[in-house]
Amino acid sequence: MEARSLILSRLFSDQPAFRLRQVEAGFFRSDWYSWDQVSVLSKDWRVKLSSELPWMSLHQIALLESAKHDTFKAILETGDNKRIETVLMQNARGFWSICVSSQVGCAMACTFCATGKMGFTRNLTADEIIDQYRFWMYFLAGRHDLEQRISNVVYMGMGEPLANYEKVKASLRAFLTHTDMGPTRLTISTVGLIPMLRKLLTDESWPSVRLAVSLHSADAKTRTDIMPSSYPRFLDDLAEWTGEYFQKFESRRRHLTFEYVMLAGVNDTSAHAEKLIAFARKVGKVKINLIPYNDTKSKYSTSESSALITFEKKLLDARVDVTRRRTMGADIAAACGQLIVEKKAA
Ligand code: SAH
């Protein structure tokens, strides 16, 4: 699949440069929802372009709305008939956050995650990541009853973003160029691929976006049990990487979070809290985000609220910077870890 920007630069090769820029910016205008609206081009050009380049790389298969109208989930299909999911959710400021997928399926196989059970099909292209945002932009433009502003994008849908590093980076750069979102409005969540985390330390073109690392246990054995991509030295490697990251990008310190999904009896006991505190002390001041486990028909269950409160209090008492994630969209299976697309009947 050739990238939209390459096709366009070929087609526009003998045109003035501003034409290409106008069209590229036009992909992020909510009032241009097909080639027909691209009024800066002649009719002949629009006809030519619509036959050579689809306006959108994804089309809607289904759309679900939560009872509270604060979370929406869309199942979208790619040009080669692969299905992915993307979520629109209202954030604490009343604006919208979009959760995008970066791959079809995922190879990381985390045992508590529904996407992990699907296996891996392929990486998404940068256009397919960008078009999840554009899908919701057009959706909101047609829903005058809803707040219009999209303020954040989180890469927390299907897939491991750092396993699709270049395309994810290209999509981040497009959001930074064509929307009003700055780098701290964009968050990449990663299982913790150390070679890729290392790569971004020296990558001048990696934007200063927020990072969230799925820690989920500060005990090496527990982490490997629940996350097969882990390994005995992982926690040491992550601590070392974090030190380098803070040294290199002191200003991004506040924009690194460790995620911790609370699984009853697995990683929510006081012994686990102590290990987490020790790990947090070792890496210096970091934020821990506790995530209630969302049901994925796995062997796990959500921590009792008393266990969650005790765990959180232990961290707070030890002066660890801890927050708790709100669960949204569970009634439409749009919450973290619930994204899965049923295989189509043959
Ligand atoms: N591959 C990325 C993005 C995954 S989804 C990563 O590993 O970070 C975003 C977050 O939701 C991750 O922290 C992931 O571990 C977590 N998650 C997965 N399944 C979950 C579930 N069933 N309940 C709550 N959080 C879950």
Question: Is 106 among the catalytic positions?
Answer: no
Which of 123, 214, 297 best tests ligand 1's pocket when mutated (most atoms within 8 Å of CB)?
Answer: 214
Summary mean pLDDT of the chain: 94
The rounded Å distance from CA 112 to ligand 1 centre is 8
Nearest-10 crossing angle of helices 4-11, 17-26 = 150
For 179-222, the pLDDT digits (tens) are 999 999 999 999 999 999 999 999 999 999 999 999 999 999 99
Can you give the pLDDT at residue 179?
98
Let me know if 145 is exposed, middle or buried by CB neighbors in 10 A (0-12, 13-18, 19+): exposed
**Radius of gyration of the chain from its Cα atoms, rounded to whole angstroms:** 21
What is the Cα–Cα distance from 105 to 113, expressed in whole angstroms? 11
Beta strands in 175-324, from DSSP E residues, in sequence order: 186-190, 210-214, 256-262, 287-292, 321-324
State which ligand 1 atom lies nearest to the alpha carbon of 296.
22
Can you give the pLDDT at residue 338?
82
Can you give the pLDDT at residue 345?
44
Reply yes or no on whether the pLDDT at 268 is more than 90.
yes
pTM higher than 0.85? yes
Supply φ then ψ for residue 153, to 5 degrees: -130, 130
Question: Is 204 among the catalytic positions?
Answer: no
- What residue's CA is closest to ligand 1, atom 13? 214
Share of the chain above pLDDT 90, in %: 88
State which ligand 1 atom lies nearest to the alpha carbon of 108.
1
For 41-63, the pLDDT digits (tens) are 999 999 999 999 999 999 999 99
- What residue's CA is closest to ligand 1, atom 15? 214
Q: Looking at the DSSP assignment, which residues form a beta bridge with residue 261?
A: 291
Can you give the pLDDT at residue 346?
41
Question: Could you tell me if the CB of 112 is within 6 A of ligand 1?
Answer: yes
The rounded Å distance from CA 5 to ligand 1 centre is 31
**Lowest mean per-residue pLDDT among 13-17, 79-83, 141-145:** 13-17
- Residue of 99, 106, 113, 336 with catalytic role: 336
What is the Cα–Cα distance from 101 to 88, expressed in whole angstroms? 12
